[in-house]
Structure 1
Amino acid sequence: MNVKLLLQPDCTKVLADCQSKKKILEHIAEIASTKLPDLTCTDILASLMNREKLGSTGIGNGVAIPHGKITPKGEPVAVLLVSHPGINYDAIDNRPVDVFFALLVPEDQCDVHLQTLASIAEIFDNKDMLKRIRSAETDNDLYNVIEAA
């Protein structure tokens, strides 16, 4: 699925000083819950945390792609956060993470889940794109970077 079609303006946020992995995941759950009315923040957070228990979703270069499966049928939900400064996220390269692209996908859409994760990883492998994402000063700026990609 096209990442630009997944991400909504109200799901892109530039955060100041989020200090832990759990706090970032809580922010993601809070934002995603506005798009998933059948789930609570606690349900969404549990899905994200369960995936993190299998291994960190920090893919390196200051990027993490937290993701989880959700039970209600419907559309996938994406959340993009940038945190200044980065946080310890147990990434594979042991560097702090400051760019988080979260994905929540209904359990019955595993193929979409894997394809979308691959698309997200490809986008964040582009150093110029990462530079533009990190330099976004407002939520709207951040959304516009993804829209222009």
Structure 2
Amino acid sequence: MKFAQLIKPTAVKVISAASSKKRLMYDLADLARSAHGIHAPTAVEALMERESLGPTGVGHGVALPHARIPNLADVVGVFILLEKPIDFEAVDRQPVDVIFALFAPEEAGVEHLKALALVSRTLREDSVCAKLRANHDPSTLYTILTEPPTSKAA
């Protein structure tokens, strides 16, 4: 699975600030609606339900909210960069500004997990997050997210 299979240029957005974690969930759902045709109220409900099981802030300013959506054909994602980080109840208690939300079909098993692993691996890279935080143009952010990982010299 490649990042470009999960996200498209219209699914990337920069927001100056979100007033709360809940408001951010609405922003993610609106972006999922406009980019992927996902019913926004269903997306908000699913994201909030998943979040109630435990926060999806993974640390270092990154959050990976995810939800299963009825009648969705493929695993898809949306990306938001916040200019002003917000409290997300992350594991390291640091505010969050890099958010990648995944939406998966209800019956997606392995594909959902593969997508989550790919996003997690990518956003765990300090260099990737530094590039994302240094750019506020959605098309540049899309390019950073979808560029193939650089191979590490042996």
What TM-score comes out, normalization by structure 2 length?
Answer: 0.91
User: What residue in structure 2 maps to residue 106 of structure 1?
Assistant: 105
Deviations 1:106-144 (A, max 9, x none): 011121111111111110111010000111121112111
- Equivalent residue, structure 2, for 1:44: 43
Equivalent in the alignment of 2:6: 6
Q: After the TM superposition, which parts of structure 1 deviate over 3 Å for at least 4 consecutive aligned residues?
A: none
> Structure 1 vs Structure 2: percent identity of aligned residues?
31
Q: Amino acid of the residue matched to residue 6 of structure 1?
A: L
Note if contact 1:82-1:99 (Cα within 8 Å) is conserved in structure 2.
yes
Paired letter, 2:31:
I
CA contact under 8 A between 2:57 and 2:63: conserved in structure 1?
yes
Q: Any conservation in 1 of the 2:61–2:95 contact (CA below 8 Å)? A: yes
User: Match of 2:88, SS?
Assistant: coil
Is the 8 Å Cα contact of residues 29 and 42 (structure 1) preserved in structure 2? yes
- CA–CA distance in structure 1, aligned partners of residues 35 and 125 of structure 2: 28
Tell me which amino acid in the other structure corresponds to 1:112: E
Counterpart amino acid of residue 17 in structure 1: A
Contact 1:48 1:68 in 2 (8 A): yes
Letter in 2 for 1:62: G
- Counterpart for residue 136 of structure 1: 135
Moved more, 58-67 or 110-119: 110-119
- Which structure 2 residues correspond to residues 1-149 of structure 1 after superposition, within 5 A? 1-37=1-37, 39-149=38-148
CA contact under 8 A between 1:18 and 1:83: conserved in structure 2? yes
Post-superposition offset of 1:35: 4.4
In 2: Cα distance, 1:78 partner to 1:57 partner: 15
Deviation, 1:36, is: 4.6
1:15/1:73 CA distance change after superposition, 3 Å = closer
**TM-score (normalised: structure 1):** 0.94
**1:2 to partner: Cα distance:** 1.8
**Number of positions where the alignment pairs a residue of Structure 1 with one of Structure 2:** 148
Between the aligned partners of 2:110 and 2:147, the Cα distance in structure 1 is 26
TM-superposed CA distance for 1:19, in Å, is 2.1
- Whole-Å Cα distance in 2 between the matches of residues 73 and 31 of structure 1? 15
For the 8 Å contact 2:11–2:35, the answer to whether it is kept is: no
> Over aligned residues, Cα RMSD in angstroms?
1.2
Q: Residue type matched to 2:144 in 1?
A: V
**Do 1:35 and 1:77's aligned partners in 2 also have CA atoms closer than 8 Å?**
no
Long gaps (5+) in structure 2: 149-154
